[in-house]
Chain A
Amino acid sequence: MSATDGPLLEVAGLEKTLGAQHVLRGVDFAVNRGEVLAIIGASGSGKSTLLRCLNLLIRPDNGRILWQGREVGWVQNAGKRMPARERDLLGYRTQISMVFQSFNLFPHMTALQNVMEAPVMVMKRPRDEVRAEAEALLEKVRLSHRASAYPHQMSGGEQQRVAIARALAMRPEALLFDEVTSALDPELKGEVLSVMRDLASEGMTMVSVSHEMGFVRNVADRVVFMHKGRVCEAGDPKDVLANPSTPELQAFVRSVTD
């Protein structure tokens, strides 16, 4: 899998209907290697749906997802474009890993076991090697002392940092974050955000849905503003947030600043 010159991840014309609702109506953007992309937008604008599509947890109805220049989620079969089988998506999912708003740690496993689960069971790497790496990852999210704790014994901020370590344990090329701090009390948000800031400075490629305007302004390289299932505005966060050109973004900026 050689790195190409183009963007690491590119989506074009992504559409998705859920139930009766046309949630994504043609989304286009690209993420370069090492870039931090923030996605903002009002509730219901389709941000979570977009992230789920990127990871192929749900399958877009239309449009293309290019990963390192190659289309994922579809295969050419006898000249016909066919949806790939779930089994063939597993490898892709380990390269683009997701962190959820509600942590979703496995309640029957300790912090360390949660981090080790995918590398050992999915990627079939040797347990000893993974254990050392998992311990290092817990150290990185400043949780070495909680390695043997079960999720219910940890604070929300700690659980979310374990979830980040778990996502990193797959050695992904990119990370997806879906409002990872919005279930947390203000004093716990900081510890998660600082872990994310560290990752950004190490050059991790990240796509983050976030309502933390401080994070968007100071950490993101680029911001995408979603409105009604489309990208409404995009660009450098400082510019875009300071001088929104569309009335929708102006309204959104006003609503999050006061």
Chain B
Amino acid sequence: MNWSVVTDNAGLLLEAFGTTLWVAGATIVLSVVLAFPLAVMRDGPIRSLRIVSAVFSWVMRATPALTLLFLTYFGLPQVGIYLAAVPAAIAGLTLSATGYNMEYIRAGLRAVPSTQYEAARALGMPFPMILRRVIVPQAIRTIMPPLTSNLTLVMKGSSLAGMVAVTELTGAGMALISRTYQPFEILIVIGLAYLMLNGVLIWLQHRVENWLSLPGQG
């Protein structure tokens, strides 16, 4: 083994690590923000919105993330939308993650007994307020565990961005391998970086679960 390939390119790899964090972080935030209204629509009172969100969820979960990524990177320019590699990757990965997140959120919302909606309506609360004050505080307990465990999947998924010319960890690694031809050292370092991130996310997940199991929380 010759680790100089890693030390010589430490700057490049660190930068790529930063890109991975950025792509994964943006995907996580955007996908949760998008998934919430979609999950509400999915069981909401308007039929057409219910159908649209159901189809969206199914398509996003049934299609490979890589295909969605290709769609936003190679496909969108065809309809006049030009995105740089990083935003295109974030858009594609977000589409994929949103499909899953909305199912978790929906399951949590449904786990709140319907009598709670009725009771809140009887108090004259408007729908957004019912959601905010009554339903979400109760649903969060069910929503958070699968949502946080999904974070590790999103983090792993960010590696796909490397296939559409984003120099995140995997992409940078592939470029470096084809230049130096030292796959062992490079892939081991990259693998360790991902496992470290994974460890952080699992730790976060435990923290969330502990926090939720505290009495009076969530």
Do A and B touch directly, given a CB cutoff of 8 Å in the complex? no
Q: Which B positions have Cβ atoms within 8 angstroms of A?
A: none
Residues of A bordering B, CB below 8 Å? none
